[in-house]
Chains A and B, each alone.
Chain A
Amino acid sequence: MEEITIDSKPESIKERNEALGRILWGKNGSKFSMRRFAMAAMKKLLHKKKEDKK
């Protein structure tokens, strides 16, 4: 039987994270990291809480 490979190729994490940054924060968005994403989410949440209190 012909050998069938299923391993995906190594990818550029840098390129992937730049593309993730763009889809999350727009065409000039910063490069994605989970830490940056979580910080931004925390800021957003705090801002929303402040707005709700007003």
Chain B
Amino acid sequence: MTDIAEEPMNSIERVLTSLKLKEPDRVPVWPLMDYLPINYYDISAKEIVFDPIKSQKAYEWIYHRLGGFDIAMAGGIMNLLYLNPFPDCYSSFFFDWKLPGRNNPDNIPAQLVHTSGLLKEDGYDRLIDEGFFRLMSFKNASLMDMMKLLKVGKKVAKNMKRWWNYYKVPTFSDGGITAPFDLLSFFRGLTNFMKDIYKQPEKIMEASEFMVDGLIAMAKYGASITGGKTILIGSARASGDFISEKHFDKLYWPYLKKLVEGLMKDGYIIQLHFDTNWTPRLHYFLELPKGTIYLHLDESTDIFKAKEVLGDHMCIQGNLKPALFSFGTPHMIEKQTKEIIEKCAEGGGLIVGSELPDDAKLENVKAMIDTCKKHGVYK
């Protein structure tokens, strides 16, 4: 077990200073982990999801083992994610999620069997008239799961408080929602939805407009259960990898902007968790208000371009390639981390991190953390 070395700022101060585009004592570092503890601690994937007390212990053990880092995961949060009864792409009430210890073996993390066509081609009007409830099912989640939501939420809230108050480390996904465009694509199925973009774009726009207020309310409801302050908005299917700028501009951006503005108005910290390649769309993010907002990119988006375009406007995270943590070496991780720090840290507004594979090697994760502590110090 490694002791946590004292530093000039605690993690809350460090992260919030970066969000405000100022220079903290050093670059914050976030090893985003889901099931990583199952390979290093006596805990199963089932317990990570369904046992908030044990999963909190496992996440704390990893925190100490790695010598401390700047953003943490509250034990039990994945229970709220997969058993969320509101329309979200992670909800087992709407999608065919195989959960560990239920319809997956105890130590196999959750997997989505992608279904297509929950929403039919002519279903957009009905969605507006009748809502998402009619699409809800109890095939993979039960009424009891729904009833337990608030009880589990209280346990997760306790874990969250422990990170914020005892460790002085923020948690960053207290409430979570999916962008309207992405959510509709999950309900229609990706192939069907891509056809709708050409065949009935006005229906996508009407449904997205209808969904904005409800999604804001869902995010707030989620954060109220855990008592959290941060909201994650997830998106992947409107990037340059998927649609043209013309479609992005018309079918996606106006509704994402409303979503972000609606939540920022109420003072939440927003994490835009945007996977896939957003490099050609980065200039749009300049339209979002400055403030407590954070663009979490994966390795597909060019982090150096993101710094150039958004460096004065919002905090960014460039993901180190996740596969490096499983198959690379500490030296490789150190080299890439240093490059990101050298090119993107100036002036603040940078968090270094990666969404870790479950079989990431701890020495590689530690190399990223230690490099930020050693080479990410602001003068």
Contacts and interface: CB of A to CB of B under 8 A. Distances in A.
Interface of A: 1-2, 4-9, 11, 15-17, 19-20, 22-29, 32, 34, 37-38, 40-42, 44-45, 48
B87 A26 contact: no
B161 to A, nearest CB: 13
B278 to A, nearest CB: 26
Interface in B148-199: 149-150
B30 interface: no
A12 to B, nearest CB: 10
Given A6-B292, A9-B267, A19-B216, A25 B17 contact: no
Contact of A41 (B13, B22, B85, B129): B85
B209 to A, nearest CB: 11
Given A16-B217, A19-B216, A38-B143, A8 B85 contact: no
Contacts of B218: 20, 23
Contacts of B223: 8
Contacts of B214: 19-20, 22-24
Given A9-B267, A26-B130, 13 more contacts: A4-B17, A19-B217, A20-B86, A22-B213, A22-B214, A25-B133, A32-B217, A34-B149, A38-B146, A41-B85, A41-B143, A44-B133, A45-B138
Most chain B Cβ neighbours within 10 Å, of A1, A8, A17, A34:
A8
B203 to A, nearest CB: 15
A15 B213 CA distance: 10
B146 A24 contact: no
Q: Is the interface of A mostly helix, strand, loop or mixed?
A: helix
> Which are the 9 A-B pairs with shortest beta-carbon distances?
A23-B214, A19-B217, A26-B131, A8-B267, A19-B213, A26-B130, A25-B131, A4-B16, A24-B133
A6 B267 CA distance: 7
Contacts of A48: 138
B248 interface: no
Interface string B259-280: 0000000111100000000000
Nearest to B265: A9
Contact of A8 (B16, B130, B268): B268
Interface residues on chain B, size class: 35 or more
A23 B128 CA distance: 8
B304 interface: no
A41 B210 contact: no
Contact of A25 (B130, B217, B268, B292): B130
B146 A37 contact: yes
A16 B221 CA distance: 8
Given A9-B267, A25-B130, A40-B133, A34 B217 contact: no
Interface string B120-143: 000000011111110010100001
Nearest to B147: A38
Contacts of A20: 86, 214, 217-218, 221
Given A1-B13, A8-B266, A8-B268, A23 B215 contact: yes
A27 B266 CA distance: 23
A23 B143 contact: no
Contacts of B266: 8-9, 11
A9 B72 CA distance: 23
A15 B12 CA distance: 31
Nearest to A48: B138
B257 interface: no
